[in-house]
Structure 1
Amino acid sequence: MSSLFSRAGSVSERRRLLASISFVALSSCFGFSASAQDASPPAEEGTPSANSSSVPLPSVVVSTQQKKKPTTKKKKVVQSPAAEASENPTVVGNNGNETDATNESRETNPSGLNLSKPATSGSRLGLTPLETPASVEVISGETIRERGQTSVVDAVTQNAAGFTSTASPGNGGTGLATRGFSGHGSVMQLYDGTRMYVGSGTVTFPFNTWTADRIEVLRGPASVLYGEGAIGGVINVVPKKPTDYFVNEAEVAVGTDFSRRIGLGSGGPINDRLSYRIDVAGEQSDGWLKQEGEFQNLALSGAVKLKAAPGLTFTLSNDYGYQEPLRYFGMPFIDGRMDKRIRFKNFNVEDSEVRYRDNWTQFKTEWQANDALTFRNTAYRLTSHRHWRNIENYAYVSNLADPHYGQIKRDDYIEIYHNQEQIGDRFDATLRHSLFGMKNEVVAGFDVNKINFLHSNNSPYSGTSWVNPYNFNSGSFYDPINLPPTVASFKTDTFQYSLFAEDRLAVTEKLALVGGIRLERPSIERMSLITGKGFDKDFSAVSWRAGAVYTWQPGLAFYGSYSTAVDALGNLITLSQAQVPFDLATGRQVEVGVKQDFWNGRGEWTFAAYDIVKKNLLTQDPNNSQITQQVGQQSSRGLELSAALQLTDTLRAEGNIAVLQAQYDEFWVNGVSYAGKVPTNVPQQVANLWLKWNFAPRWDLIGGVRWVGTTYNDQANRSSRPDYVLFNAGIDYAVTENSTLSVRGYNLTDEIYATGGGANSDGSTRSWTLGRPRSAEVAYRIKF
């Protein structure tokens, strides 16, 4: 595999990468190659756990005033997060940072549902999940790394209730589904509270969990907080942040398929006003496929925080990601069945390409004018450069009369480039005061941005080749004759502004009312670079949410909410001419639930019931398939249960289950009604269970089980992927008080399962995109 570093463009770009000298030194010993294109320094870490696991990784904590000794190993004491919060009062900012009385964040319990940990994904007021009338989860970085989840998709799907992956190289490898809705157009992804608008159904950052302090998950409509494109839910990856204590950490791992991983992180004070955080993570593997199966990535994250004056802080951060993910588009069925002989074959061409290069720069200002009033502002510039060059469609030739009978037909020779830049600013002010004798908190602000998007391709996609299923030469992308040239196809300029407000009124000590509203006005201009023709379109939408939380007793809360949402017709910034006559899709949700933190913090559980309806789907006229109309409707209703319990001092269990009924209520394709059919890529049942057993001093055994129900490939529900069960396990040994050696196994039963699929015109299954087979790795992690 050629080196990523060798592809760096300018000398200055290489010098920026070489600034991470420690990474270069270690990676050269490790044999890792990386790209320096647009490389920029790295971003934040969550803090040492107050409730460490039975095999802890305590850091040596050093303050600027006094040096502390390393923590000593002792039996875990389980304490209520609420009790810890009372011992370390917090001030919460809208970027999700909570600061204790000495100014910096200290992670409480790294396990569990974190119901009493402030989270901003469900509210701009920094409410805890117990205070929020919505389904909010906080997955700590310690939990993610303890379970060996190196990708954001794995961390979300294996820990959060009701999430499944729809990831493929085509959508950036990060697509998700929840509550009956799937894809980037309905399940939004944020990084540190900021979203990049979706271009052609693709989001490519963030992808690595090493730089994450935590991942916050909100299930259900979130347009009132983040705008269009979040009717199913939101995930927010919160990076590690600068700290006023020193912490350094490193991890190195090797595994099957010659997989190698490395992660380095450092943070602490530079002086009494300035602190930093820097992280580097890289991965490289030959992959589990026999042809063209290698992949690699690099993530750099850095931030500097300045306490300019009492109550006034500035934070400058930059995050860079480079990926060459798996270039795999599935395994074709042979004679209507899966043939295990081609399970590990990749039918893509030898010179296929999938490359993503993302860079996120953010400048945050927070000013706490007094105890009642806080101002926050985030200015940002986000860029993404993506390249695909692949054959993406494979089908077995079963017609005896066809001269290519018994071969795999490969077509759709596709080459696409994306160049995207988003510049924006988000401002809000929070006021905490008394209203008619009742405690009231209100936040109001605006979000404005401009997105420039350039799309290049070789449309119309053509080119066809045939190969023997069992023994073939992958060939080259340029083998077919007369492929259309790859040229700049179209560009769009999108300008969006929104106004938002949220309020929480404590009517009594037990009852609180929470409401919010958002007005957004996106405007899109699209120009064809081939014909010179174009169009412009203005949208307007208002989303709102109203809810109540009743705290029956400390740690036990009942809630209910009604919320509305809007989704784009496809993707906002790549709106097509055919979609211009129509408005944004709209939706609403009714949700009720209960949350409890009990047994002095040893147990937590949540239960939610919801009903969602999404209207104004684009469908075909039942009397004329050439006419598109906006009358379609899709609905979903379901139940979700999550629980975490410290059963004994040495045994802990965490799990969740989601069951739902999703369907098209009104939907026509080619004059055929699909009412009552289940939407594609939406399983009706999903469950996770994790157990951790400290079976001996210094030893932990960790096991996880995941069940995903049957999923349909097509809208008529004639082609499906069966349910599957995955078993993951690991064993940790505390080599020292500050280091751990881990052995992890994934898909222990070597289950053959599909994460995606396609159907033929007759409704039969054409292909499956298979998940990772059985694999293992050995990892060593240290904090110092």
Structure 2
Amino acid sequence: MKNILLASAAVFSTLAGGAFADDDIVVSAERREQSLNEVPQSIAVISKNDLELIDSDHVSEILARVPGVALHRGSGAEQLTAIRSPVLTSGAGAGSFLFLENGVPIRSAGFANINGLFDAHYEIADRIEVIRGPSDAVYGANAIHGVVNVLTPLPTESVLIFAEAFGDTEDRYKFKGTVSGTDGAHGWFVGGSVVTESGYRDDAGLDQQKLTLRHVFDDGGVTIDTIFSFDNLEQETAGFIFGFDTLKDRDLRRSNNFPLAYRDAKAARLQSTISFDAGENTRVTFTPYGRWNQMEFPQHFLPSNALEENGHWSVGAQSAVYHDVGKLSLIAGADIEYTDGYLSEFQSAPRIFSYTPGQHYDYDVSAFHLSGFVQGAYALGPQTTATAAVRVDGTFYDYDNLIDSGIEGRFLRLDDRSDEFVTASPKFTLMHHVNDGASIYASYSRGARPPQTTDLYRLQINQTGDTAQPEKIDAFEVGARAALGERIDLGLVGFFMNKRNFFFRDADGFNVSNGKTRHVGVEADVQIELLETLRLRSAVTYAAHTYRFDRITGNASETITFGDDVDTAPRVIANTRVTWTPIDRTTLEAEWVSMGSYFTNAANDRSYGGHDVLNLRAEVGLTSSLAVFATVRNVTDALYAERADYAFGKDRYFPGEERTFGFGLRYRQ
């Protein structure tokens, strides 16, 4: 057990020593520990200290600290994601980002959830790692634009108890606690969290409970690391508000036109990583896992208000062999997974336009995924390393329609069918250490993913044209990390990405299977030690996300023109924090979150002006075991939008919360 505890001290180190300190360890790039300075790609780490200080009400608050990342917070626990991309919706939003917990995907690749991060137990996480851009060979489907990996704490050497209670002026109450320890070769961890809130808006309350159990066995030769997690979400859902005047009205912005909307979801996951040495220079890891989830919600965003029920269960395994000898480092492995999923949609309301009452869809899909990968890194010299990798993914769907095939109103139900997709994802990198404090790297990578099952089988009458194909993105990246003296750490990255086979439904309801977009930008992550007790850190992104094709639709506001910005793609996003630690166990932070303006429709003639939000946080230790903390969110009481959109001839918004005061207690023994 001592070996795993020593590893945990490195793996879960904080960023206190600088943005790119030598002892910063990441595990997401290769599913094993690596120094961040040795990784030739863009990885950000949100440490345990930061996670505790943020004490987020929503995961979007955490990921706002990462360059190139923006989450649009929806109602309750929901979110839409952008990682080196516009904020993506529908199948693209679900399938373009890979959400992991302890290295294992939270959902099966073809059955992803657009709000996928609400299942992750980030409330008690020890760290979160974010890969921007297509990932390394160890990950496949859904890692088109990036990867988010939520990591559970490892057991502590001695018994450690942690508890927290928090409440704020929006009637939001959060409770969480963990306990861990070690007994001989066995280590254990238990973590739970509960949140209940009445909701910032009318009829928009939320209750969510999460549990994580971890057991680590280490006899000095074989390590078995087993993790179980469970999540239960029950929320009342609020939809968009309509009109800019409503956004700026303190009463109307709290209204909810969909008081009967809700989302109920449950998920359970189990994984066990077995690792051992297979020789002096070879390490083997094998991770069998299983997952189950189900979700139910009325589609309040459609006239039908149809009830959707979906879910899937999976069993699978990840494997990798690591061989390091001399100048050469090799990784090879295979991943396999079987999934059985379902989707049902039923309208109980009378006919509304072409939305007919009764069963719209009722189908099962079984899926089989098989992947193999190999990666080799070779030291060309004392300071320079070249890496080449390739991954091949095979995805096979078997669709079973459980109701009559054909057309019913606007709904198209296909006959039973099978589909298969094979993709290859190569990657090449070159990294050079200029000196002990600086490195530069360049890379080319291709990301690829199969279509989501909903894109293939949940069709409407106009979607009889092109079928969804594997989406592919070619990405070029150049980056540098440097310590400029003893007080400044700087990370700077430039990227250029072309995506093709972007699949979506246009404003006329027709399939677009050959959409093309371009993503070009610069990201900076800088940390400055202004004084011994005063630190500034800023994550700034400038990026252009543009259409690279033309598409004329009957709705002029959604006509696409080559070179226009993709809607919901701000050119500038930034997050800047000043942290002051005047005495031991006292921390004060001021955070400025800036969202630039963006277009809200494809024709680029409607827009949202962006916003700036100021947050304050403080924590003070009262005794050796007890601390008090406080937050003031949206200090200036700005009337802003978490998400802005334009559809059906209307500007629509998810309003951000007004100024909110929170207070909490932490106990650690």
Structures share a fold, TM > 0.5?
yes
Name the structure 2 match of 1:283.
Answer: 195
Pair 1:179-2:84 in alignment: yes
Name the structure 2 match of 1:750.
Answer: 637
Q: What CA deviation, in whole Å up to 9, does each residue of 1:454-473 have, x standing for no partner?
A: 111125986779xxxxxxxx
- In structure 2, the CA distance between the partners of 1:362 and 1:759, relative to structure 1 (3 Å rule), is same
Question: In 1, distance between residues paired with 2:309 and 2:419?
Answer: 24
Aligned length: 642
- In structure 2, the CA distance between the partners of 1:708 and 1:461, relative to structure 1 (3 Å rule), is farther
Pair 1:293-2:239 in alignment: no
- In structure 2, the CA distance between the partners of 1:674 and 1:568, relative to structure 1 (3 Å rule), is farther
Q: What CA deviation, in whole Å up to 9, does each residue of 1:45-66 have, x standing for no partner?
A: xxxxxxxxxxxxxxxxxx99xx
CA contact (8 A) 1:687 1:708 kept: yes
Residue 311 of structure 2, aligned match among 411, 416, 419: 419
Question: In 2, distance between residues paired with 1:722 and 1:449?
Answer: 44
Q: What CA deviation, in whole Å up to 9, does each residue of 1:5-39 have, x standing for no partner?
A: xxxxxxxxxxxxxxxxxxxxxxxxxxxxxxxxxxx
Q: What CA deviation, in whole Å up to 9, does each residue of 1:129-187 have, x standing for no partner?
A: 22122111111122111122243332112x111211134359x7143102124323222
Residue 185 of structure 2, aligned match among 247, 257, 273: 273
Question: In 2, distance between residues paired with 1:565 and 1:452?
Answer: 25
Q: Secondary structure at the match of 2:565?
A: coil
1:678-693 → structure 2 map (5 Å cutoff): 678-693=565-580
Q: What CA deviation, in whole Å up to 9, does each residue of 1:676-710 have, x standing for no partner?
A: 22122221110001111134565432110010111
CA contact (8 A) 2:11 2:27 kept: no
Name the structure 2 match of 1:557.
Answer: 439
Deviation at 1:333, TM superposition (A): 1.8
Question: In 2, distance between residues paired with 1:528 and 1:379?
Answer: 30
Name the structure 1 match of 2:238.
Answer: 328
Q: For structure 1, which segment, 486-495 or 250-259, has the greater mean C-alpha deviation from structure 2 after superposition? A: 486-495
Name the structure 1 match of 2:72.
Answer: 166
Name the structure 2 match of 1:443.
Answer: 331
Name the structure 2 match of 1:357.
Answer: 266
Question: In 2, distance between residues paired with 1:261 and 1:582?
Answer: 42
- In structure 2, the CA distance between the partners of 1:385 and 1:110, relative to structure 1 (3 Å rule), is farther
Question: In 1, distance between residues paired with 2:349 and 2:561?
Answer: 29
Q: What CA deviation, in whole Å up to 9, does each residue of 1:296-328 have, x standing for no partner?
A: 211100111112x43201122110111124511
Deviation at 1:665, TM superposition (A): 0.7
Residue 129 of structure 2, aligned match among 210, 216, 226: 216
CA contact (8 A) 1:620 1:669 kept: no
Name the structure 2 match of 1:723.
Answer: 610
Name the structure 2 match of 1:303.
Answer: 214
Name the structure 1 match of 2:278.
Answer: 369
1:15-164 → structure 2 map (5 Å cutoff): 100=6, 107-110=13-16, 112-114=18-20, 116=22, 117-124=24-31, 126-157=33-64, 159-164=65-70
Deviation at 1:713, TM superposition (A): 2.5
Deviation at 1:259, TM superposition (A): 1.7
Q: For structure 1, which segment, 199-208 or 737-746, has the greater mean C-alpha deviation from structure 2 after superposition? A: 199-208
Pair 1:456-2:344 in alignment: yes
Q: For structure 1, which segment, 229-238 or 730-739, has the greater mean C-alpha deviation from structure 2 after superposition? A: 730-739
Deviation at 1:273, TM superposition (A): 0.8
Name the structure 2 match of 1:518.
Answer: 391
Deviation at 1:755, TM superposition (A): 2.4
CA contact (8 A) 2:384 2:432 kept: yes
Question: In 1, distance between residues paired with 2:333 and 2:262?
Answer: 42
AA aligned to 2:78 is G
Pair 1:541-2:423 in alignment: yes
Q: What CA deviation, in whole Å up to 9, does each residue of 1:711-740 have, x standing for no partner?
A: 232222233222100100022211023332
Deviation at 1:618, TM superposition (A): 4.0
Q: Secondary structure at the match of 1:166?
A: strand
Q: What CA deviation, in whole Å up to 9, does each residue of 1:468-490 have, x standing for no partner?
A: xxxxxxxxxxxxxx983468611
Question: In 2, distance between residues paired with 1:568 and 1:579?
Answer: 18
Name the structure 2 match of 1:660.
Answer: 543
Deviation at 1:207, TM superposition (A): 4.3
1:510-659 → structure 2 map (5 Å cutoff): 510-531=383-404, 533-570=415-452, 575-576=457-458, 578=464, 581-597=467-483, 599-600=485-486, 602-618=487-503, 628=511, 630-659=513-542
Name the structure 1 match of 2:660.
Answer: 775
- In structure 2, the CA distance between the partners of 1:486 and 1:266, relative to structure 1 (3 Å rule), is farther
- In structure 2, the CA distance between the partners of 1:169 and 1:734, relative to structure 1 (3 Å rule), is closer
Deviation at 1:660, TM superposition (A): 0.6
Deviation at 1:219, TM superposition (A): 0.6
Q: Secondary structure at the match of 1:782?
A: strand
Deviation at 1:628, TM superposition (A): 4.8
AA aligned to 2:69 is F
1:501-512 → structure 2 map (5 Å cutoff): 501-512=374-385
Question: In 2, distance between residues paired with 1:775 and 1:336?
Answer: 20
Deviation at 1:200, TM superposition (A): 6.2
- In structure 2, the CA distance between the partners of 1:629 and 1:551, relative to structure 1 (3 Å rule), is same
Q: For structure 1, which segment, 367-376 or 635-644, has the greater mean C-alpha deviation from structure 2 after superposition? A: 367-376
- In structure 2, the CA distance between the partners of 1:592 and 1:329, relative to structure 1 (3 Å rule), is same
CA contact (8 A) 2:160 2:668 kept: yes
- In structure 2, the CA distance between the partners of 1:495 and 1:691, relative to structure 1 (3 Å rule), is same
Structure richer in strand, relative to its length = 2
Unaligned runs of 5+ in 2: 406-414
Q: Please, what TM-score do these two structures have when normalized by structure 1? A: 0.77
- In structure 2, the CA distance between the partners of 1:420 and 1:667, relative to structure 1 (3 Å rule), is farther
Greater C-alpha Rg: 1
Deviation at 1:632, TM superposition (A): 2.4
Question: In 1, distance between residues paired with 2:657 and 2:506?
Answer: 41
Q: What CA deviation, in whole Å up to 9, does each residue of 1:540-586 have, x standing for no partner?
A: 10001100110010121011000111134455786556587453121
- In structure 2, the CA distance between the partners of 1:356 and 1:431, relative to structure 1 (3 Å rule), is same
Q: For structure 1, which segment, 553-562 or 241-250, has the greater mean C-alpha deviation from structure 2 after superposition? A: 241-250
Name the structure 2 match of 1:428.
Answer: 320
Q: What CA deviation, in whole Å up to 9, does each residue of 1:413-465 have, x standing for no partner?
A: 1311112112110111100112xxxx211111001101111111125986779
Deviation at 1:285, TM superposition (A): 1.2
Question: In 2, distance between residues paired with 1:616 and 1:462?
Answer: 37
Question: In 1, distance between residues paired with 2:298 and 2:545?
Answer: 35
CA contact (8 A) 2:10 2:25 kept: no
- In structure 2, the CA distance between the partners of 1:460 and 1:560, relative to structure 1 (3 Å rule), is farther
Name the structure 2 match of 1:10.
Answer: none
CA contact (8 A) 1:152 1:208 kept: no
AA aligned to 1:688 is N
Question: In 2, distance between residues paired with 1:697 and 1:580?
Answer: 62
Q: For structure 1, which segment, 535-544 or 704-713, has the greater mean C-alpha deviation from structure 2 after superposition? A: 704-713
Question: In 1, distance between residues paired with 2:7 and 2:300?
Answer: 57
Q: Secondary structure at the match of 2:137?
A: helix
Q: For structure 1, which segment, 657-666 or 250-259, has the greater mean C-alpha deviation from structure 2 after superposition? A: 250-259
- In structure 2, the CA distance between the partners of 1:559 and 1:698, relative to structure 1 (3 Å rule), is closer
AA aligned to 1:113 is A
Pair 1:245-2:131 in alignment: no
Question: In 1, distance between residues paired with 2:636 and 2:436?
Answer: 43
Question: In 1, distance between residues paired with 2:520 and 2:619?
Answer: 40
Identical-pair percentage? 18
Q: Secondary structure at the match of 1:224?
A: coil
Name the structure 2 match of 1:674.
Answer: 561
- In structure 2, the CA distance between the partners of 1:534 and 1:719, relative to structure 1 (3 Å rule), is farther
Question: In 2, distance between residues paired with 1:141 and 1:528?
Answer: 46
Q: What CA deviation, in whole Å up to 9, does each residue of 1:576-629 have, x standing for no partner?
A: 5658745312110111010024545x532100001000012347999xx79756
